């Protein structure tokens, strides 16, 4: 402490309840202390300190609160055994079970916490204590000693002299993270072409969601919207995953309302049939279903982040965080008059991913 520069003139360190630190006056003379250190306020005794009856009461309260915790534990156990979710997978039962388990366990733990705090506040010792604050910096002597310990260690290990050992150690530590790469690889495999492929391909019929009945082109009147899934979706191995890629919105508008293809766009002029347009329903932002179609403005709105796509401009993004237009599904009619895809999606539907490529 003696040589510590930060303590200044007060070698004993700041002490609580002392005369306090003098302020330095501009002329270098100490100002007189205009305020006496008030010190600690007088100790105020609690009723439980002075009245044995109150102390007994508090004791009873604490134990009652601890015993109340039993109720929560019992509620949890009863909920666990009386509301099994294995035999009834309905959502309502699951919600009730979760609610009872959570409230029971929460109440049990909460009561123990409340009881402990109440115990500490009413019955445990209540005297004031002063802890002096010490300088954080060690003395120069301690700092010198610490440096010497490290230098001695370096010297004794010979790491500076035996460079072969040192360099081989560095090399060993350097390749140690490689097993982590192998472990992370187990999280894979990389998506590959899975996100590029959907159930849509040439000749697949457009069917109604959810009952899977095919749609005639004549059924789609102007201003109407059909929610579409590919035929045979229910028979696929992962219907929900396939639906998340293949869901399509079918809209019929007056063909003259749609603006011509601009240069630089994919030539999708003949991808519609008589004003019937099929667009992916999966938002290119984070994949919510874009199905809010406004008949008058021909805008498609995503309910999650308000990305807005303009059907008259080939589902170009006109507002919101989405970056790419909704992919269009090329459609035509088969010999029986039903709508069919004439090819799969030209670009992967849905949100971006690393392997997708920047150009798409």
Partner 1 sequence: MKALAARRRHPLGGVVVMLLALLVVGGAYSVLTPSTASAAGASTEDVQKGRELFLANCSNCHGLQAQGTGEGPTLIGVGAASVDFQVGTGRMPLSANLPQAMEKPVQFNDQQIAQMAAYVASLAPGPAIPAEEFQSFSDDPERISKGNELFRTNCAMCHNAVGVGGALTRGKWAPNLQDVSAKHVYEAMLTGPQSMPVFNDANITPEEKQDIASYLHFVGTEPSPGGLSLGSLGPVSEGLFAWAGGILALVGCAVWLGARSS
Interface residues with partner 1 (CB under 8 A)? 44, 46-48, 117, 121-122, 126, 208-210, 215-216, 218-227, 251, 289, 291-297, 299, 301, 303, 306, 308, 319
**Torsion angles phi and psi, residue 196, rounded to 5:** -85, -30
DSSP-derived secondary structure letter, 5: G
Beta carbon nearer to partner 1, 101 or 195: 101
What does the H/E/C string look like for 238-263?
Answer: CHHHHHHHHCEEEEECCHHHCCCCCC
In angstroms, what is the minimal distance from the CB of 308 to partner 1?
A: 6
CA count, 13 A, side-chain hemisphere, 197: 4
In angstroms, what is the minimal distance from the CB of 140 to partner 1?
A: 42
**Ramachandran bin of 306, using left for φ above 0, alpha for ψ from -120 to 50, beta for the remaining angles:** left
In angstroms, what is the minimal distance from the CB of 266 to partner 1?
A: 26
In angstroms, what is the minimal distance from the CB of 156 to partner 1?
A: 52
Beta carbon nearer to partner 1, 267 or 296: 296
In angstroms, what is the minimal distance from the CB of 128 to partner 1?
A: 12
Beta carbon nearer to partner 1, 294 or 334: 294
Beta carbon nearer to partner 1, 59 or 209: 209
What does the H/E/C string look like for 286-318?
Answer: CCCECCEEECCCCEEECCCCCCEEEHHHCCEEE
- Helix 52-82 / helix 91-122 crossing angle, nearest 10 deg: 160
Beta carbon nearer to partner 1, 20 or 287: 287
- Placement of tokens 């205009």 in the chain: 34
Element (H, E) at 206: strand 206-208
The Cα–Cα gap between 157 and 46 comes to 62
Beta carbon nearer to partner 1, 281 or 314: 281
In angstroms, what is the minimal distance from the CB of 149 to partner 1?
A: 44
In angstroms, what is the minimal distance from the CB of 77 to partner 1?
A: 24
In angstroms, what is the minimal distance from the CB of 299 to partner 1?
A: 6
CA count, 13 A, side-chain hemisphere, 96: 13
Asked if 68 contacts 106 with a C-beta cutoff of 8 angstroms, the reply is: no
Beta carbon nearer to partner 1, 195 or 291: 291
Beta carbon nearer to partner 1, 122 or 272: 122
In angstroms, what is the minimal distance from the CB of 121 to partner 1?
A: 4
Element (H, E) at 332: strand 331-333
Please list, in sequence order, all residues whose beta carbon lies within 8 angstroms of the beta carbon of residue 167, skipping any fewer than 6 positions away.
Answer: none
User: Token digits for 115?
Assistant: 């009881």
Q: CA nearest 134: which of 226, 7, 258?
A: 7
Beta carbon nearer to partner 1, 109 or 154: 109
The Cα–Cα gap between 310 and 316 comes to 5
């Amino acid at each position: 402490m003696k040589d510590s520069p930060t303590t200044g003139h007060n070698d004993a360190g700041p002490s609580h309840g002392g005369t306090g630190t003098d302020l330095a006056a501009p002329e270098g003379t100490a100002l007189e202390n205009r305020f006496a250190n008030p010190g600690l306020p007088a100790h105020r005794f609690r009723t439980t300190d002075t009245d044995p009856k109150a102390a007994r009461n508090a004791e009873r309260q604490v134990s009652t609160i601890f015993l109340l915790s039993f109720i929560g534990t019992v509620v949890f156990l009863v909920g666990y055994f009386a509301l099994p979710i294995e035999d009834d997978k309905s959502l309502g039962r699951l919600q009730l079970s979760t609610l009872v388990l959570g409230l029971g366990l929460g109440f049990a733990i909460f009561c123990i916490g409340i009881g402990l705090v109440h115990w500490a506040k009413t019955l445990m010792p209540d005297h004031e204590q002063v802890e002096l604050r010490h300088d954080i910096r060690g003395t120069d002597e301690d700092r010198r000693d610490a440096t010497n310990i490290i230098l001695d260690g370096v010297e004794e290990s010979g790491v500076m002299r035996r460079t072969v050992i040192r360099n081989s150690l560095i090399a060993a530590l350097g390749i140690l993270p490689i097993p982590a790469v192998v472990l992370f690889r187990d999280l894979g495999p990389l998506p590959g072409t899975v996100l590029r492929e959907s159930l849509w391909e040439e000749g697949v019929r457009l069917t109604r969601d959810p009952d899977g009945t095919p749609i005639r082109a004549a059924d789609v009147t102007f201003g109407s919207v059909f929610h579409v899934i590919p035929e045979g979706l229910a028979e696929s191995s992962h219907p929900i995953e396939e639906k998340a890629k293949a869901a399509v919105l079918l809209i019929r508008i007056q063909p003259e309302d749609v603006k011509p293809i601009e240069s630089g766009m994919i030539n999708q002029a003949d991808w519609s049939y008589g004003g019937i347009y099929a667009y992916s329903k999966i938002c290119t932002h984070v994949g919510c279903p874009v199905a809010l179609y406004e008949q008058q403005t021909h805008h498609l709105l995503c309910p999650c982040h308000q990305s807005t796509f303009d059907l008259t401009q080939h589902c170009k993004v006109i507002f919101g965080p989405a970056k790419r237009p909704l992919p269009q599904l090329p459609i035509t009619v088969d010999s029986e008059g039903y709508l069919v895809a004439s090819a799969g999606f030209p670009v992967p539907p849905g949100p971006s991913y690393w392997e997708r490529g920047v150009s798409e």
